[in-house]
Amino acid sequence: MTANIRFIAPCCCQVAFLSFQLWLTHYLTNCAAVCQGGKPGYCVDPMKTNEPVKTNDSRPWGAHVSAAGGLVSALRRAQAIGATAMQIFARNQRQWRPAPLDEREAAEFRRFWPAAGIRFLCTHASYLCNLASPEQKLRERSQEALIDEIRRADALGAGCVVLHPGAARGAGRQEALERLTDSLRLVLRETDSAPVGVALENTAGQGTALGARIEDLADALAALGREPRLGFCLDTAHAFAAGVDLRRESALHDWLAELAGRDLLDRIWLLHLNDTTAACGSRRDRHVHIGDGEIGDRGFRHLLSCRELWRIPAIIETPKGKTPEQAEFWDRRNLRRLRGFAKANCTRVEGKPDRV
């Protein structure tokens, strides 16, 4: 009898373990199937237009989280703040030649992030990149870096790589735009097998930076024949510093009307929701916690009331503090404030008189 029990017990454990493995495989396969049904980087397609929008809080919400300690650590940080969206650096953003991506770690991360409740994933390109530079060596290094960024994003299952358009550095705007679009054309051609897009981010307009005007983004898209793998990321702190006074409903209405007039609304793939200490039109990039800056609660309430933007994923890039605990506290606080504004405002901005 004792011998039979000793034989049966290990068998039962093996059966239970195999059953768990089969369940986990089935669960992850279903998650992957759902992800493949929407856009790359999404578990559900937040831009789906034939589905009625019932709430202003249906978008994926999240933050740029640190990948220090590995990709799994980044995922844990996103889960700790209740995120359903996340942005990470897929490589060391301070180096031109970072360590290669660990293929096993990337494969595991790609399998598990949908099961962790993340509905949208993107990466952010290195700030070293300048595809518009008049210096050929810098431009070529930037092209190589972006190609690597896209391939890493593809390995992780991310939908897009967020990229600053670059700076003219003494050259004229038109010449810089041509260099930017030529570089993007080359990069997209070299990565045509990857279903990963490039999201050009609007800028504050510091120095000779491109992207402070919607016209820059629209011209880049037009020059590339409305390339389907090119979209945009709208940053609130940058827009405010570039002169869009988000505190005034009429200014917000005009901004959205310009985007719509240039047929760009459907190319907005994500929002960077950041407050700023910089004055409107100052062309200075200074992020601060939501509600603590010049945009303030009022500006974010106006923005989050716009039905045109309801389904677009929102990422915060606000200060993190000095410790992981502080980073978690501030990310939770900022996301909670934004979600509160979104739930409280379910009306569309119609260019009403400003409430000054």
Instruction: Write out the catalytic residue numbers.
Output: 94, 124, 127, 164, 201, 235, 238, 272, 285, 287, 317
Taking the CA atoms of the chain, what radius of gyration do you get in angstroms?
A: 22
Quickly tell me which residue has 């609304």 as its tokens. Answer: 265
- Of 285, 265, 267, 283, nearest in space to 275 by CA: 285
Cα 42 to Cα 342: distance, rounded to the nearest angstrom:
21
In degrees, rounded to 5, the angle at the alpha carbon of residue 120 between the alpha carbons of residues 35 and 146 is 100
DSSP H or E run through 236: helix 236-241
DSSP state of 307: G
CA dihedral of 299, 304, 307, 310, whole degrees rounded to 10: 150
Helical ranges in 38-102 per DSSP H = 71-80
Question: Tell me, what DSSP letter sits at residue 209?
Answer: B
E runs forming strands in 24-119? 61-64, 85-88
**Segment (H or E) for 215:** helix 214-223
DSSP bridge pairs for 63: 86, 316
Q: How far apart, in whole angstroms, are the C-alpha atoms of residue 48 and residue 52?
A: 9
Cα 203 from Cα 200, distance rounded (Å): 9
CB 210 within 8 A of CB 177: yes
Pairing of strands 197-201, 230-235: parallel
Cα(176)–Cα(206) distance, integer angstroms: 15
Residue 98 DSSP one-character state: P
